[in-house]
Amino acid sequence: MLTLASDKPSLNLDNDIDQIAAVTAVGYLHAKIEQHDSGLVGGSRELTPKQALCLKWSAEGKTMRDIAVLENMSFATVNFHLNNARKALDACSLAQATAIATKLGLI
């Protein structure tokens, strides 16, 4: 939650607020939120080469069966790698895992 409060009953934006300080504060806040959303807070996340490969295909819209055929793997192996990638990225779904991996530059 973000609260902006003042002891003044009303503020004049031209005289009472330092615009440079306000813009700087918003910039810092935005950067911190982006850092948190990208998953960089709390350490980096890593994927095995097979996890990254399967996630890359998934991000391209391929199904697990498609990936299995393309990479000459069994469906169960593709499922295994994608589930482990999802867990490694703390994602709730495969779609979220591909989004996180893309944002972090892992795929």
Structure letter (DSSP) for residue 24: H
Top-confidence residue, 72 or 17: 72
The domain that holds 90 is classified in CATH as 1.10.10.10
| CA–CA dist 29, 35 (Å, integer) | 10
**Number of structural domains in the chain:** 1
pLDDT at res. 42: 44
Q: Is residue 20 part of a domain?
A: no
Contacts of 66 (CB under 8 A, 6+ apart): 57
Q: Is residue 53 part of a domain?
A: yes
Q: Is residue 86 part of a domain?
A: yes
Q: Is residue 31 part of a domain?
A: no
Structure tokens at 4: 């902006």
Domain range for 97 is 49-103
Q: What is the pTM of this model?
A: 0.60
Q: Is residue 82 part of a domain?
A: yes
Q: Is residue 25 part of a domain?
A: no
pLDDT tens, 10-41? 877 777 777 787 778 888 787 777 766 655 44
pLDDT tens, 42-51? 445 789 999 9
